[in-house]
Amino acid sequence: MALAPVYGEFQMEDTSPTTCGCKRFTNPKPSENYAASTMLQVFSLKFSGDFSNDQQPLPVYGFVAVRDDCELLRNYIFNRAREEAFDLSPDSRLLPLTLPVRGMSVWHKALVEISLKVKRKGSTCDNDDDVLVDLCIDFRWDRITREKKLKSRIECSFGALEMEYKFIKHGIEAVLEVGIPMELVGDHVIIIARSNGFKKIVTLYDAVVQAETAKVSYVLVASEGGRLYFGYLAVGARASGCTRIEVAKHGSYKGHVVLALGPNPCQKPRTCMIPFSVTFSTMGYFNDGSP
């Protein structure tokens, strides 16, 4: 790929984050009844290189962003400042993905922009650090494979970075918002989801619940006419629940997942209601960037 034409085509001189948010066509006007279109779902970014004694762990910072033809500005899926570098190690090879602002559309084209560095031991600024990956992946509508999980392996000086992803042919943006009840503060909670557009489970949340954690949100791709599956696990309470939602082109759905918790000191069984909502939207019309 020649970088110069792509640089201009995707307006890469503009490093601003995308201003185009999610849920744009949840309540469409009659003129906004757009069709479902091809969308990109990124599952993981995994370091598959070797670790030597002087490289363990690898403190990685920088960004991974997608520029699409919904808007050519950066939609981040990983973004870490130098002082917040994430430590890659043999036991922790996955970069933690961040919540994209909206779904990633591929009516015609999309560009994955990757700029990652490794903090060098003893260095005080990014100019002294090592480059892990610095490149772009250019996707075009007539050269992509849809409805199949794909993997791109990016060779670098420290080994390789693998990106797992899929292009959903009739994609619908699904914004999942899940409540975290106060009863679960201090417990390790895992929230997962998957769509029948892709079989791979996406982890939406995996952490010990803090008192200030009232709700978590995630943007993912669902397949038009399919189903979205959502599961909730409280590890300490040994309680889990799941539900299934029919995917719509637009609109929203609200419900609850019921967790059966262990008995309280009075030996009475307890339940915990987990509120959630799913908001569906198409990605709209093809935007060629013209004023």
The helix or strand, by DSSP H or E, that contains position 152, with its residue range, turns out to be strand 150-156
Average predicted confidence (pLDDT) for the chain: 90
CATH 1.10.357 fits 172-281, yes or no: no
Calculate the CA 140 to chain-centre distance: 21
Phi, psi of 34 (to 5 degrees): -80, 155
The average pLDDT across 44-68 equals: 87
What pLDDT, on a 0 to 100 scale, did the predictor assign at position 291? 46
Render pLDDT for 118-158 as a digit per residue (tens, 0 to 9): 998 888 889 999 999 999 999 999 999 999 999 999 998 88
pTM over 0.85: yes
* Average confidence (pLDDT) over 279-291: 75
Q: What phi, psi does 142 have (nearest 5°)?
A: -95, 5
- For residues 61-85, give the mean pLDDT: 97
CA–CA gap between residue 81 and residue 116 (Å, rounded): 10
Where in the sequence of the chain do the CATH 2.60.40.150 domains occur? Answer: 3-29+38-169
Whether 164 shows a pLDDT value over 70: the answer reads yes
Q: Which fold has domain 3-29+38-169?
A: Immunoglobulin-like (2.60.40)
